[in-house]
Chain A
Amino acid sequence: ELKVEQNPLFLSMQEGKNYTIYCNYSTTSDRLYWYRQDPGKSLESLFVLLSNGAVKQEGRLMASLDTKARLSTLHITAAVHDLSATYFCAVDYSGAGSYQLTFGKGTKLSVIP
Chain B
Amino acid sequence: AAGVIQSPRHLIKEKRETATLKCYPIPRHDTVYWYQQGPGQDPQFLISFYEKMQSDKGSIPDRFSAQQFSDYHSELNMSSLELGDSALYFCASSLGRGLAGYTFGSGTRLTVV
Contact = CB atoms under 8 A, between A and B. Distances in A.
| A and B physically associate | yes
Interface residues of B, number: 27
Interface stretch (A13-21, A35-43, A62-70, A74-82): A35-43
Interface residues of A, number: 23
A48 interface: yes
Contacts of A33: 101-102
B82 to A, nearest CB: 21
16 contacts: A40-B88, A40-B109, A42-B106, A43-B90, A43-B92, A45-B104, A48-B100, A48-B101, A94-B97, A99-B31, A99-B50, A100-B48, A100-B56, A101-B45, A101-B98, A103-B42
Given A43-B92, A48-B101, 18 more contacts: A31-B99, A33-B102, A42-B104, A42-B106, A42-B107, A44-B104, A92-B97, A94-B97, A99-B48, A99-B55, A100-B33, A100-B48, A100-B56, A100-B58, A101-B35, A101-B45, A101-B92, A104-B42
Interface of B: 31, 33, 35, 42-45, 48, 50, 55-56, 58, 88, 90, 92, 97-107, 109
